Amino acid sequence: MRKLSFLLGSIVLFASCAKEELKNNGATDQSLQLSARQESTTFKEIGSINIGSTGAAEISAYDAITKKLFVVNNSAGNNRIEVLDISNPAAPVLVGNINITAYGGFVNSVAVSNGKVAAAIEATDKVSAGKVVIFNTASHAAIAVVTVGSLPDMVTFTPDGKYILTANEGEPNDAYTIDPLGTVSIISVEEDYAVTTLNFSKFASQAAVLKAKGFRLFGKNASFEQDVEPEYIAVSANSNTAWVTLQENNGVAKIDIATKNITEIFPLGFKDYNNPSNTIDPSDQDGGINFAALPVKGMYLPDAIAVNSFNGTPFIYTANEGDAREWSGLTPVETRRVNHSSVVLDPVAFPNAAALKTNTQLGRLNITTTLGDTDGDGDYDELYSYGARSFSIWNGLTGELVFDSKNQIDTKAAELGKYPDGRSDDKGCEPEGITIGRVGNNNLLFVGLERANAVMIYDITNPIKPKYLQWLNTGVAPEGVLFVEAAKSPNGRSLFIASSENDGFIKIYTTN
């Protein structure tokens, strides 16, 4: 009896301590009860709010301490961060904003950690140095203002909260007379926000080798470090390593955070649309949705990136959106349609050139003029289009392609009646945002489709064999995709939040 009493007392003490630990981490009694059972991996919409017009809901970040959602708003006449109370996710409430005007130009991105919200803010003239401003999530007071590289396009905290990283795109001005360096800034939170900004000059000697593997360098009179344009950052769970997409360059860079050193660049190569599993619909004037295997290659050109480890190996996930340089000072023009008179197809490589150049086949497809003339005789021996119309999984240590969703995104959209046929000549559904979340024992991948106004959910518990789970309809052009784990969620269940830049809608989904 004495042993039984001791055992019962130990169980009660353990349960009490576990409950107290959850409370100390911001969990409620409700979340304690809900997180104790396995969640479904199926999501449903429970709440939404409209905060403006085009540009009003770009990127969002959630603070578990205050239960606030911070949302970038760059709609006409605005330059601020909207603040929403989502303590009841089914009924989000706009409770205030943080005006960014005093700090420079547009705010491009926000991230939250330990009661701080960091905002990436470009300079008024875009090509000058940008800023990261850190605010208190409760009072909204500015804590620090840090100068970073030109055009900070994305900001993130390391999971341990010790560093803030920005991808500083360094785009040129429209005339291409000023082309800033593309850089990555690392800000040490514990060292009074001391900043180190890294550029890519040390890789200039590797340019030829990288280009041979599919890395792109084509800026007007640009050095290697000017041509590189960092877009988006993912950080490992142990906060040691970051991976950065170099979108226009068709590559990913790997960074050692502790030593503040860019260690590698991974060229991503190209996707073969002549493969029957990679079929595309390349025309918006072919009378409908017609997928076919065609002699074209896709440049991955990823936007967002995420990372997750499996059996000790980091895997990086990319949303292969595609992007072109469309500056008036860039000559020749980078983008042309296949039917343009300047696009002459080599008769040996394309014996059916006349048929391919019709609008019902490849004529309407946008391609880059910077690739394809392999023998330098003035005609195109190969054709390269923008994006890969997919998401991909890469080995984060070697850059090796592990998985590509092939044509599944576009064909699933067509099956559901959601395929944007008017964008067939560009990049199809245009996967742009990507994030990972753990629900129960499952790792889920959320892929935002800018032109299909939707998010696709995959189970990536085994990243070698992702499984499609669900299609979520969102607002128009979901730019921000955000996962909130159950332990930090205001309702004790996992949340997924989509912020759509074209209609200003924020939609909140939770597990069944």
- Joined together, the tokens standing for residue 464 give 């070698």
∠ CA 477-478-484 to the nearest 5 degrees? 175
Mean pLDDT calculated for residue range 302-307: 98
- 3-state SS, 446-457, equals EEEECCCCEEEE
Non-local CB neighbours of 137 within 8 Å, separated by 6+ positions: 63, 65, 66, 68, 70, 112, 115, 116, 117
Tell me if 107 sits within 8 A of 72, measured CB to CB. Answer: yes
CA 264 to mean position of chain CA atoms: 20
Distance separating alpha carbons of residues 112 and 117, to the nearest angstrom: 4
Structure letter (DSSP) for residue 172: P
Q: Mean pLDDT over residues 135-149, rounded?
A: 98
* pLDDT score of 276 more than 80: yes
- CA atoms within a 13 Å half-sphere pointing along the CA-CB vector of 99: 3
Which of 3.30.2310.20, 3.30.530.20, 3.30.43.10, 2.130.10.10 would CATH assign to domain 43-511? 2.130.10.10
Which amino acid type is present at position 373? D
Token pair listed for 54: 């085009």
Buried b (16+ CB within 10 A) or exposed e, 307-321: bbeeeeebbbbbbbb
DSSP, collapsed to helix, strand or coil, labels residue 140 as coil
Report the b/e string of 179-199 with b at 16+ CB within 10 A. Answer: bbbbbbbbbebeeebebebbb
In angstroms, the Cα distances linking 383 to 3, 38, 219, 272 are 77, 49, 20, 10
pLDDT at 38: 75
Cβ contact 475:509 at 8 Å: no
460 closest CA partner among 478, 481, 441, 477: 441
Tokens of 144: 């620090």
pLDDT beyond 50 at 221: yes
Question: Residue 504 pLDDT > 90, yes or no?
Answer: yes
How many percent of the chain have pLDDT more than 70? 93
HEC readout, 52-72: CCCCCCCCEEEECCCCEEEEE
Give CA separation, 105 vs 51, 131, 200, in Å: 20, 10, 25
Among the listed residues 149, 109, 158, the one whose alpha carbon sits nearest the alpha carbon of residue 128: 149
Res. 200: pLDDT tops 60: yes
Region 2-23: mean pLDDT is 38
Q: Which of 142, 83, 133 is nearest to 105 (CA)?
A: 133
Phi/psi region, residue 417 (left: phi>0; alpha: psi -120 to 50; beta: rest), is: left
Kindly state the helix (H) or strand (E) to which residue 211 belongs, with its residue range.
helix 207-212
Is the pLDDT at 137 greater than 50? The verdict is: yes
Three-class DSSP category at 141: coil
Phi, psi for residue 387 in degrees, rounded to 5:
80, 170
**pLDDT at 34 > cutoff 60:** no
> Which of 16-20, 229-233, 261-265, 398-402 comes out lowest in average pLDDT?
16-20
State the chain's mean pLDDT as an integer.
93
- E strands of 100-228, at which residues? 107-113, 116-121, 129-136, 142-150, 152-157, 163-168, 183-188, 194-198
Q: Is the pLDDT of residue 28 over 70?
A: no
pLDDT score of 6 more than 80: no
pLDDT > 60? residue 196: yes
Classify residue 182 by its DSSP letter: P
| pLDDT at residue 320 is higher than 70 | yes
DSSP state of 346: P
Q: How confident is the model at residue 120 (pLDDT cuts 50, 70, 90)?
A: very high
